[in-house]
Amino acid sequence: MSDVDPGAEIIRLRPGAAIYEISTDELQISFPNYTATFTSPDVTNAVRAILAALDGGAPRASVIETAAAATGFSPDVIDYLVDSLLGSNCLYVGSEEQIGTPLREFQAYIGDADADFEERLANARCVLVQPAGDRGGIAEALAELEVKVDVIEATPGESSSPPLDALREALASATVVGCWNVPYRSPFARTVNEIAIQHPVPVLFGTCEGIVGRVGPFVLPGNTACLECLNDRLLSLAGGPELRAYRAYRLRNEEIVPPPWPSHPLFVRAVAALFGVELLNVALRRPSVTSGGFVEYRLGDAGAERHPVLRVPGCPMCRPQSSKRLAWDVRFQAPAVKGSA
């Protein structure tokens, strides 16, 4: 049984590290996206001693004491090198009781402290709205990562009222909403957008429509463009026939859940995975790439393209509507004042 205080900060080598002893005066710690190089015999000798003292994770004071004894260097010198290893992202600070799940290992790799990550994970509460029987697998993937997810399945062709009522109820404790694979132009998606803005709770949209997949926009109520702003922007250059088809589509699906558009099954799963990554990022309060825009993927293309979306002036969903002003030609009769001419 460990004698280490369970709440003590433990320093560890970051996951994915490969250590290469190039020569007696050069040592490299290599990661998938970067490499740190240490030179001179004294420095490389001290770094080797520090890495040996870690032994999978140890308190900083213990590492310094062990490495200083092994090398004969002053503890201040070892302490400086430990700072250098932390600053060069070779080591990270955690706590003994944390379990090395794949998500936690990744968070450690990118620099999240254990305590901060655990707090954000515990506070995250997602609501996922998706078509019944959706093949994307987002809910299952998030649940495996220990994210609390309330799944609301909307059955295509049936009334939209039950899932929308369930969404209103779930928003009481939600921190973020994900709306997956519901056509952006549908009245159902418009109402999800409206409900999230009214509460207000951030909402991320994503869908596959034929050969096009989209992740975003991530709507921060009162701050960024909403889904209706995106629809207005996408339709800004549409001709008359396209606009008439848009209005007819909305009228036909006014009170029902629309079916997802046809798309390649593997393409749907790929875009769903990217949507899940973005939803997890925003749930954990990490930087979002879809705030104020969306990322578009095209089947058969080799890349992704981010499109910014500006808020539409006077948008009835995300901009407060000012009260109607009186006509400019309204006149008020001044009251009579006694003694006036």
**Could you report the per-residue pLDDT of 253-270, keeping only the tens digit for each?**
999 999 999 999 999 999
| Encoded amino acid at 127, one letter | V
Closest by Cα among 176, 184, 226, 187 to 206 = 184
SS3 state at 111: coil
pLDDT at 78: 95
- Give residue limits of the domains in the chain: 9-98, 124-308
Q: If you count them, how many residues does the chain have?
A: 341
Inter-CA distances, 64 with 5, 12, 34, 68, 181, Å: 17, 13, 25, 6, 53
Q: What is the chain's mean pLDDT, rounded?
A: 88
Is the pTM higher than 0.85? The answer reads no
Statement: residue 82 has pLDDT above 50 = yes
Q: Please give the CATH number for the structural domain made up of 124-308.
A: 3.40.50.720
CA distance 249 to 232: 15
CA distance 281 to 260: 25
Residue 126 per-residue DSSP state: E
Encoded tokens for 170: 């779930």
Encoded tokens for 308: 């910014």
Encoded tokens for 77: 């010198």
Q: Please give the CATH number for the structural domain made up of 9-98.
A: 3.90.930.60
Phi-psi region of 72 (alpha: psi -120 to 50; beta: other; left: phi over 0): left
Mean predicted confidence (pLDDT) in 235-254: 91
Cβ atoms within 10 Å of 201's Cβ, excluding its own: 22
CA distance 266 to 10: 42
CA distance 308 to 314: 19
Q: What is the pLDDT confidence band of residue 120, given thresholds at 50, 70 and 90? A: confident
Encoded tokens for 66: 């062990």
Q: Contact 136/268 with Cβ under 8 angstroms?
A: yes
Q: Contact 312/193 with Cβ under 8 angstroms?
A: no
Q: For residue 209, list its beta bridge partners.
A: 212
Q: What is the pLDDT confidence band of residue 98, given thresholds at 50, 70 and 90? A: low
List the helix and strand counts (H, then E) for the chain.
11, 13
pLDDT at 322: 54
Ordered alpha helix ranges (H), the chain: 41-54, 60-71, 75-87, 102-110, 114-123, 138-144, 161-170, 187-198, 227-234, 240-252, 265-283
Sheet holding 18-23, edge to edge: 18-23, 26-30, 35-39
Q: What is the pLDDT confidence band of residue 73, given thresholds at 50, 70 and 90? A: very high
**35-39, 56-60, 260-264, 299-303 — which is least confidently predicted?**
299-303
Encoded tokens for 6: 């369970």
Encoded tokens for 48: 């080797």
Closest by Cα among 255, 210, 207 to 231 = 207
**DSSP string covering 254-281, please?**
TTBPPPPPP--HHHHHHHHHHHHHHHHH
The distance in angstroms from the start CA to the end CA of the chain is 101
Encoded tokens for 331: 């006149």
pLDDT at 1: 37
